[in-house]
């Protein structure tokens, strides 16, 4: 089950939140949320729930032992991390490791097919952050297993993030309240995320499918303009798709009193690669910062050691995204640019304006766009073909008539998608909100209140129409 499905919208979420409203106390509300969360996760296969419960129990027990036996706390931390990461590695990297082993040495003859459990990377990192925070004495160990399971399995964010720290929600697990303003903001946020996914992200994906072949033979002949357009569309799609999931998760949380941190801050207006990674997938970036980069010494070390620390972080970041060499290459690609910005270009973090800001944003967008090309092609041969084709090194043409027609036919969708990647629309909303607060004109106030109430309804209706007949349209980050 996915957020962007009619079943989820009009059956699962509706029943869950109606039931939640009628539950008499926080314990019964949490039990209801846990039941619905496990049903949501089990939709992809009942066995997946057993693994989730097992991983949660391992971290639950590990945290209790860390807190109870202070003299052996490091031992219990290491054991918990080894087991948790070992399970993740087994499901995610066994096939990758054996495939490379067979390529180098000719064995094993048969490589087992291991299905990657949906969301395992996200909930494993959440549980690991909980255990480490207990070890650091930043939070107390949760004594109730079922509450820790609720934290790990909560359907808002279990499958594709954001990676929610236990410290951010531990108080709200047992003591939270709901107010009308937050419910309204949550509904609007959810509706905006749904529209971003169902209309814009899925629309960009449909155009890519129309112009980009899925085999290397046809890719060689693809024009450079088609490859460039598809790269730009994928850059739009992956942001709109992933940020839409975060919007919907944050919105659903607000509706019932959970406050999840922001996961995106308009990364495509960044003025450097460093700035981009402060804005993109913030929950993952801060996870690696707090649990890998800083423990390694961060930037308070010698230059060679700092470069090594960055190398470790970005190698792991690439591998986290998938068991494929293109993801490793993608991580190291950003490692190179971050090191260059720090020690070669010496890019400053100070605010810049005017032409300098525009030029640096264009530079960042070009780097990021090429990065998404590396990210998109899990087949290294096709990746090489695509990169060569952009510069017409495959003997391919620079442009063709079909690309021009596709662009003209979809120009409105592309323009709106670009606009949705910027803070312009929220800025307009804040402007009218300020006008509303300052205004004493009752008809104007009534019109504003009506518009803010009707916009989410219209967005959900438009999204529902876009989803009719589209039985399964998973979010891109489900596979990680």
The tens digit of pLDDT for each residue in 187-214 reads 999 999 999 999 999 999 999 999 999 8
Low-confidence ranges of the chain (pLDDT < 70): 161, 349, 436-437, 439-441, 444-445, 469-480
> Residue 67 is encoded by which pair of tokens?
């807190």
Cα 301 → chain centroid: 31
pLDDT, position 20: 93
Token pair belonging to 208: 């890519």
Give the pTM. 0.92
Nearest alpha-carbon partner for 176 in 13, 20, 8, 36? 20
What is the structure's pLDDT at 160?
73
Within 10 A of 410 (CB to CB), how many other CB atoms are there?
19
- Characterise 281 by phi-psi region: left (phi > 0), alpha (psi -120 to 50), beta (else): left
**Alpha-helical runs (H) found in 106-144:** 120-135
Helical packing angle, 401-409 and 411-420, nearest 10°: 60
**Residue 353 annotated among the catalytic residues of the structure:** no
pLDDT value, residue 276: 95
- Rounded CA gap, 349 and 352, in Å? 9
Residue 416 confidence (pLDDT): 96
Report pLDDT for 469: 67
For tokens 């992200």, the residue is 201
Q: Distance between CA atoms of 144 and 149, rounded to whole angstroms? A: 9
144-165 pLDDT per residue, tens: 999 999 999 999 888 776 889 9
pLDDT score of 36: 95
Query: What confidence score (pLDDT) does residue 332 get?
Result: 96
Does the N-terminal peptide bond of residue 162 adopt cis geometry, omega within 30 degrees of 0?
A: yes
Domain residue spans in the chain?
A: 6-176
Q: Is the dihedral of CA 90, 93, 95, 98 positive or negative?
A: negative
SS3 call for 265: coil
379: DSSP letter:
S
Tell me how far apart the alpha carbons of residues 215 and 272 are, in angstroms, rounded to a whole number.
Answer: 34
**Active-site residue identified among 69, 156, 321, 353:** 321
Residues 127, 141: contact at Cβ < 8 Å? no
Query: For residue 298, which phi and psi values (nearest 5 degrees)?
Result: 60, -135
**pLDDT for residue 444:** 64
* Backbone phi, psi, residue 322, to 5°: 170, 155
d(CA 182, CA 254): 6
pLDDT of residue 391: 94
Is-contact 165 129, C-beta < 8 A?
yes
CA–CA distance from 366 to each of 77, 270, 327 (Å)? Answer: 42, 12, 18
Write the DSSP symbol of residue 267: G
Q: How far is it, in rounded angstroms, from Cα 427 to Cα 412?
A: 21
pLDDT of residue 243: 93
Q: How far is the C-alpha of 423 from the C-alpha of 412, rounded, in Å?
A: 18
Q: How many CB atoms sit inside 10 A of residue 73's CB?
A: 17
Question: Distance (Å, rounded) from C-alpha 333 to C-alpha 331?
Answer: 5
Taking the C-alpha atoms of residue 372 and residue 370, their distance in angstroms, rounded to an integer, is: 5
User: Token match 């129990």: residue?
Assistant: 57
Q: State the Cα–Cα distance between residues 213 and 223, nearest whole angstrom.
A: 11
């Amino acid at each position: 089950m996915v957020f962007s499905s009619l079943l989820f919208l009009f059956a699962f979420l509706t029943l869950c939140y109606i039931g939640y409203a009628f539950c008499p106390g926080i314990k019964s509300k949490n039990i209801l949320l846990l039941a619905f969360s496990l049903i949501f996760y089990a939709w992809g296969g009942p066995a997946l729930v057993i693994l989730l419960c097992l991983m949660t129990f391992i971290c639950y027990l590990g945290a209790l032992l860390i807190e109870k036996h202070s003299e052996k706390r490091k031992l219990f931390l290491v054991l918990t991390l080894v087991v948790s990461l070992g399970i993740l590695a087994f499901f995610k990297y066994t096939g990758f490791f054996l495939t490379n082993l067979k390529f180098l040495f000719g064995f094993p003859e048969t490589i087992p097919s291991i299905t990657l459990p949906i969301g395992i990377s996200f909930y494993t990192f959440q549980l690991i952050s909980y255990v480490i925070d207990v070890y650091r004495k930043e939070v107390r160990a949760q004594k109730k297993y079922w509450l820790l399971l609720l934290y790990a399995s909560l359907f808002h964010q279990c499958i594709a993030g954001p990676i929610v720290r236990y410290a951010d929600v531990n108080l709200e697990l047992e003591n939270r309240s709901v107010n009308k303003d937050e419910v309204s903001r949550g509904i609007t946020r959810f509706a905006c995320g749904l529209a971003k996914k169902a209309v814009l992200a899925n629309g960009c994906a449909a155009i890519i499918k129309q112009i980009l072949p899925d085999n290397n033979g046809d890719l060689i002949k693809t024009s450079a303009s088609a490859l460039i357009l598809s790269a730009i569309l994928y850059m739009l799609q992956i942001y709109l798709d992933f940020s839409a999931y975060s919007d919907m998760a944050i919105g659903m949380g607000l509706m019932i009193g959970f406050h999840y941190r922001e996961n995106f801050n308009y990364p495509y207006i960044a003025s450097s690669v460093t700035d981009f990674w402060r804005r993109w997938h913030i929950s993952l970036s801060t996870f690696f910062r707090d649990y890998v980069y800083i423990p390694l010494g961060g930037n308070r070390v010698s230059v060679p050691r700092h470069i090594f620390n960055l190398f470790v972080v970005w190698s792991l970041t690439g591998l986290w995204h998938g068991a494929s060499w293109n993801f490793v290459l993608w991580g190291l690609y950003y490692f190179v640019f971050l090191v260059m910005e720090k020690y070669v270009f010496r890019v400053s973090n100070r605010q810049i304006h005017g032409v300098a800001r525009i030029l640096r944003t264009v530079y960042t967008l070009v780097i990021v766009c090429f990065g998404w090309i590396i990210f998109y092609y899990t087949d290294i041969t096709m990746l090489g073909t695509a990169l060569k084709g952009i510069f017409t090194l495959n003997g391919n043409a620079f442009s063709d008539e079909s690309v021009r027609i596709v662009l003209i036919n979809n120009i409105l969708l592309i323009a709106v998608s670009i606009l949705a990647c910027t803070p312009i629309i929220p800025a307009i909303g804040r402007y009218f909100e300020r006008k509303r607060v300052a205004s004493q004109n009752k008809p104007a106030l009534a019109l504003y209140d009506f518009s803010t109430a009707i916009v989410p309804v219209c967005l959900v209706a438009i999204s529902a129409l876009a989803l009719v007949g589209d039985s399964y349209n998973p979010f891109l980050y489900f596979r990680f």
